[in-house]
Structure 1
Amino acid sequence: MGSARLKHYGWGREGEGMSGAEQAFVLGRYRQKFGRDSFDTIAVPKLDDLKLREPRIVPPRALAEICSIDVYNRAAHAYGKSYPDYVRGMIGDYDAAPDIVAYPRNEAEIAAVMDWAGGAGAALTPFGGGSSVCGGVECRVDGSRYKAAVALDMRHLGRVVEVDKTSRAALIEGGAYGPALEAQLKPHGMTLRHFPQSFEYSTLGGWIATRSGGHFASLYTHIDDFVESIRVVTPRGVVETRRLPGSGAGPSPDRMFIGSEGILGVISQAWMRLQARPTFRAGASVRFADFFAAARAVRAVAQAGLYPSNCRILDPQEAFNTGAADGSVAIMVLGFESGDHPVEAWMARALECCADHGGTPEKADAAAAHLEGAAGLWRNAFIRMPYAREFLTPAALINDTFETAITWDRFESFHDSVKAATERAILEATGIKGEVTCRFTHVYPDGPAPYFSFHALGRHGALLEQWQAIKDAASDALIDAGGTITHHHAVGRDHRKWYDRQRPELFAAALRAAKRELDPQAMLNPGVLIDP
């Protein structure tokens, strides 16, 4: 994680951020969108300016060493990284700050914190890196059944405990951050190769709890595909599943905890499937006259069984916003990799599929194309863009994203209806025409995962209401058109209303029953997935 601590407000560590040139590029795009030379920008409160309520509970002496009540720790665990989180932090609203932050060092201390919190009538929120973009870690307990709120930060459980090179797997603790995890695997010549956008600032346990989407655009798209077995500390005891390459023995116990978002227990360890580090790569950027032509090429590649590691497309405006193109063409970022064999044949066949739909590849060195041209520009923008929110939100600019999945037969009409509904909502909420763009993040033989971005010029004092109106319209459109409310960002609190519509009600009843059995006091992450 490095020596600097994570910011209490903003992305990354203290002292990190976009360069002056990067900020000028991003703000320049917004000036062009909205025809403004400047924006109404307010100052964000500094840490020393924050006033938090006095803690409503006190940890027992036996746990005092691993608990903190200082302002930084409480403020840094109040929110994740969603747009509402940024707005509330910007105006100094830290009512959701936990009373206590606990930093357990082992499973025994996790269980001890659970026992204490349960006895104190407190809600307990598991906390990995705090990178949730859907309200996954906020715990507001005012006026509820809970007397206080405790955040359980897993950062001290960050080891790769064991590596099985024969089976290509490793036992890894749930608090391991992405870079530290990969650094510990590297001497063994292995990699988990799961790189979500939040890779630097998120943990293995968080990836599993939220069904994170990672590096691979096809085949191994979610963390689910890498989980071999799991160990979870619950208020009723420890659940440990058997380590197997596969099993047909009833419903999978692993699957019950993958995606459970902290409501059933705390993921302390998992055996994870590994891969050889890639030594063969091929990449290309391909230009298309329009987005739907690019989408049809993606479908051809996905259904050919080529399984590219990267197969993302950007609509013309999305490509322009990231600097990958001039706004006149859609861009496909295509890549293959292997730790075993050359991949040029797969790339050649994929480019044939693209050519069938009018795709024209940029000229570049195939082995380094993922770092060059449009692909390189997009990759850099993708990694750096989360830093922009900390200066865009204070400028009253509403920029957010939502992702979904839909089958190929419905994609084009789905895209148009969702985009139109979101554009209408922006105009109605703000009175100013906004912008909605689309790209693909992951692809399957039966459908894509479209990822929409929206941009609006809001008004200070009304940003949360304006954002909510846009979010509601977009989410209603997704569900009404048959998509999922989330493909890889999880449910959290922001998506809860639409998740209730998407899931079968009898399944919700079964999930409530599991919650009652594993967490009888309903202390774990209340408000997420189900109501206790």
Structure 2
Amino acid sequence: MTRSWWGWGNVEETVAGAELGALLARVRMLAPGDLTGHEPPDIPALGLPAPRVSAPAALAGLCSADPADRAGHAHGKAFRDVVRNLHGDLRQVPDLVARPRRERDLVDLLDWCARDGIAAIAYGGGSSVVGGIEPRFDDDRAAVTIDLGRLDRVLEIDPVSRAARIQAGVFGPHLEDQLRPYGLTLRHFPQSFEFSTLGGWLATRAGGHYATLRTHIDDMVESMRVVTPSGTSESRRLPGSGAGPSPDRLFLGSEGTLGVITEAWMRLEERPRWRARASVHFADYAAAVRATRAIAQSGLHPANCRLLDTAEALINAGVAVEGGVLMLGFESADHPVSTSLDRAGELCRDQGGEIIAGEESAGDTWRSSFLRMPYQRDALARHSVIVETFETACTWDRFESLHHAVMQAAREAVRKVTGADGVVTCRFTHVYPDGPAPYFGVYAPGRWGSTVAQWDEIKAAVSEAIAHNGGTITHHHAVGRDHRPWYDVQRPDPFAAALTAAKAALDPAGILNPGVLLPPR
């Protein structure tokens, strides 16, 4: 397989042929507009600027100035990243891409960057959708992207404690392949699973596929090892500790601004043996939300508890239903789970839900669509369609007002920038006893050459609605550069001061991913 430099995933899996025709046909019904297709530019046609720095002789073998390397590491995989790539708009690219083979190489790379004032951007799989890995700076400093893909091994397994010591550059599938012979799994499957790494998950506090209990990678960390310009931090392996603020919590979610994660001891689970699933159709959306809340607060802990509203169910699950579809799933490595599914079904019936046993249609269709969504997004971007997602989390008491405000803001912004209504959808990705994590989707006709500016305006309107209605600016997509304005408002001032001080202590030269989480120095 060949990784795409400009878009999601593998070139061989690009949406084409009958799949593309069917996709565009659906779009014509939902968001009609100019659907002329556009091809991505060839890398030689990009005219990338020459590198401004050369690696010292001792590090030269680790560094690449190849245009394909630099172009492929210039942006993440957000809609605006894909569109800029399609237009050949790579104004800021890394000067070099470095691939350390061992931790000592990383230490030497950071020493060089600190000495010469070069920005150092840690890079896992490049799946950021918030501008977290691009060299987008206010000044003209040189940048080296440090790709950790060679650090990809499970170094040690403790089957008694069910934990493993794992290098940060391992991609999801390769990690699971190394755990499978032991009957163990990390059980962390974000949508980006195939194209993201353990280090990226840790640095961004990534959320996985499972709806309850261990929803975030944070919950699976036993200890971490992090290389900073001021030294290496390694926490002690413990199941829990009350010894002051947690060292791991400092680096979880630090997005490469405080140090570079090189390895971690991660908590594992036995691979599930028992599964049960169903989908539930509702005639009323408010009743569907109440049923979902009842399940989230029941202590049943479903693996899947994803509520699709009417538009999401129709577009991505192929189900026409008035109030939405709730997809339920339970699994266990220890015991049958059919009784848990039965009880969840009773809670749904209390709110008028109709159980569709086995999830024969909605769930299977939606899962297939879920895996193809990023590829379909890229195909639509090539045809001037704006496809965007906004995710947040709020408490149950605030969901109704937040949902109304976000839907209204998105629709008004789409109408303003495109002159059309577009489509706005909502689904729950995760649920907690005290609140859901809503994930909003926007589909709208754009204008070729203007879709980035249109995206920016829609993004700002929806982010403002989230921030002013009790939601977090991100539940699992990280902060990066795109969410910084709203993160600055959400973050308490004393914590901002403490984070700034930590940054100064760990990264005195200010080289680590400047502009992410904090203003660059």
> Contact 2:2–2:12 at 8 Å: present in 1 too?
no
> Contact 2:282–2:322 at 8 Å: present in 1 too?
no
> Contact 2:283–2:321 at 8 Å: present in 1 too?
no
Q: Identity over aligned residues, as a percent?
A: 55
Equivalent residue of 2:460, what SS?
Answer: helix
Q: Which of 463, 466, 491 is the aligned partner of 1:503?
A: 491
Which residue matches 2:504? Answer: 516
Which residue matches 2:7? Answer: 10
Equivalent residue of 1:62, what SS?
Answer: coil
- Say if 2:256 is the partner of 1:259: no
Give the Å deviation of 1:120.
Answer: 2.1
Equivalent residue of 2:442, what SS?
Answer: strand
- Say if 2:363 is the partner of 1:375: yes
Where do 1:347-426 residues align within 5 Å?
347-364=341-358, 369=359, 372-426=360-414
Which residue matches 2:119? Answer: 123
Report Cα offsets for 1:112-135 as digits up to 9, x if no partner.
111111222211100000001111
> Contact 1:205–1:267 at 8 Å: present in 2 too?
yes
Give the Å deviation of 1:19.
Answer: 4.9
Stretches of 4+ aligned residues off by more than 6 angstroms: none
- Say if 2:51 is the partner of 1:55: yes
- Say if 2:437 is the partner of 1:445: no
The one-letter code matched in structure 1 to 2:248 is: D
User: Aligned equivalents of 1:84 and 1:251: distance in 2?
Assistant: 37
The one-letter code matched in structure 1 to 2:422 is: G
User: Aligned equivalents of 2:303 and 2:106: distance in 1?
Assistant: 37
- For the aligned residue pairs, the C-alpha RMSD in angstroms reads 1.2
User: Aligned equivalents of 2:122 and 2:447: distance in 1?
Assistant: 34
Equivalent residue of 2:149, what SS?
Answer: coil
User: Aligned equivalents of 1:204 and 1:22: distance in 2?
Assistant: 32
> Contact 1:281–1:337 at 8 Å: present in 2 too?
yes
Report Cα offsets for 1:308-337 as digits up to 9, x if no partner.
000001001111111331254411110000
Give the Å deviation of 1:475.
Answer: 0.4
The one-letter code matched in structure 1 to 2:219 is: D
Q: Which of 86, 109, 125 is the aligned partner of 2:82?
A: 86
Which residue matches 1:431? Answer: 419
- Say if 2:124 is the partner of 1:102: no
> Contact 1:291–1:314 at 8 Å: present in 2 too?
no
> Contact 1:398–1:455 at 8 Å: present in 2 too?
yes
Moved more, 503-512 or 317-326: 317-326
Which residue matches 1:166? Answer: 160
Report Cα offsets for 1:236-265 as digits up to 9, x if no partner.
110000100000111111101000011001
- Say if 2:289 is the partner of 1:289: no
Which residue matches 2:30? Answer: 33
Report Cα offsets for 1:180-234 as digits up to 9, x if no partner.
0000000011000100000000000000000000021011110000000000000
Q: Which of 452, 467, 480 is the aligned partner of 1:464?
A: 452
User: Aligned equivalents of 2:281 and 2:16: distance in 1?
Assistant: 29
Give the Å deviation of 1:390.
Answer: 2.3
Moved more, 388-397 or 503-512: 388-397
Which residue matches 2:146? Answer: 152
- Say if 2:181 is the partner of 1:180: no
- Say if 2:65 is the partner of 1:69: yes
Equivalent residue of 2:449, what SS?
Answer: coil
Q: Which of 199, 218, 236 is the aligned partner of 1:224?
A: 218
User: Aligned equivalents of 1:180 and 1:303: distance in 2?
Assistant: 35
| Corresponding residue pairs, total | 520
The one-letter code matched in structure 1 to 2:453 is: E
> Contact 1:290–1:316 at 8 Å: present in 2 too?
no
The one-letter code matched in structure 2 to 1:501 is: V
Give the Å deviation of 1:275.
Answer: 0.2
Equivalent residue of 2:409, what SS?
Answer: helix
User: Aligned equivalents of 2:112 and 2:345: distance in 1?
Assistant: 59
* TM-score, structure 2 normalization: 0.98
Equivalent residue of 1:30, what SS?
Answer: helix
Equivalent residue of 2:212, what SS?
Answer: coil
User: Aligned equivalents of 1:327 and 1:41: distance in 2?
Assistant: 33
Unmatched runs of 5 consecutive residues or more in structure 1: none
Q: Which of 230, 250, 268 is the aligned partner of 1:274?
A: 268
User: Aligned equivalents of 2:156 and 2:348: distance in 1?
Assistant: 43
* TM-score, structure 1 normalization: 0.96
Give the Å deviation of 1:400.
Answer: 0.5
> Contact 2:31–2:423 at 8 Å: present in 1 too?
no
> Contact 1:398–1:463 at 8 Å: present in 2 too?
yes
User: Aligned equivalents of 1:290 and 1:117: distance in 2?
Assistant: 57
- Say if 2:325 is the partner of 1:325: no
C-alpha spacing 1:340/1:363, structure 2 compared with 1 (3 Å): closer
The one-letter code matched in structure 1 to 2:191 is: Q
Give the Å deviation of 1:97.
Answer: 1.3
Which residue matches 2:19? Answer: 22
Unmatched runs of 5 consecutive residues or more in structure 2: none
